[in-house]
Amino acid sequence: MSAHNGDGCALVTGGTRGIGAAIAERLQQEGWNVARLGRTSGDVQADVGDAEQVKAAFDAVHERFGPVLVLVNNAGVRHDGLAIRMPDEEWQEVVDTNLTGAFNCTRRALNDMLSARWGRIVNVSSVVAERGNPGQANYAAAKAGLLGFTRTVAREMAKRGVTCNAITPGFIDTDMTADLGDGIADAVPAGRVGRPEEVAAAVAFLVSEEAAYVNGATLSVDGGLGA
């Protein structure tokens, strides 16, 4: 448990289902006051790709939960298709949500973290950020961009008591991967898909006091898929 749990809250974007819901639940168990942000549900609602909606959401979070000292940028969408045939809007929505959304939320949260001289940012990227995946040019580009963003924020904030790390989940058993078929476990060295709780455990470590010297890192939770 962090000494800062009572001073502020943890905000989890895309926190109402799948990996995000598991992360929110785990952080609550760790003693954090957790605000779940979703596009259409949750404690606060916003399209993270829209800077004005994010500003309004942070105002609402401040009022109800206090300053944001832990931020988990987990909100994500997929629109799969070959690059040559990908419509403009399917490229844009994936980049806006998965990459620009993390920027919009991080920029807001850093004000609170700098005031507290303590903060934890965890960006949920993906195994495809580092290995590519046919049919996911938009998703892979956004998730790879998130890794560069993570490392840059880590270097900018390191002296201020704020860390910024990324995790790269592999195939995790959620509704977002339900359409990928039964054979996906065969591609994983571990021989199975992961559980959302296993990703949540990695996040819980990265936001802990014990992880104060872990900064700019990418932690894979993928059963060896990216190895």
Catalytic residues, by residue number, are 139
Q: Which amino acid is at 54?
A: V
Instruction: For residue 111, give Cα distances in angstroms to 105, 143, 185.
Output: 11, 24, 42
Interatomic CA distance for residues 189 and 51, integer angstroms: 40
Interatomic CA distance for residues 102 and 8, integer angstroms: 20
Interatomic CA distance for residues 129 and 148, integer angstroms: 10
**C-alpha dihedral sign at 146, 168, 17, 65:** negative
| Under 8 Å between Cβ of 32 and 3 | no
117 secondary structure, DSSP code: T
Interatomic CA distance for residues 5 and 202, integer angstroms: 18
Backbone dihedral angles phi then psi of residue 64, each to the nearest 5 degrees: -95, -35
Q: How far is CA 164 from the centre of its chain?
A: 11
CA angle 70/74/76 to nearest 5° reads 155
| Under 8 Å between Cβ of 183 and 5 | no
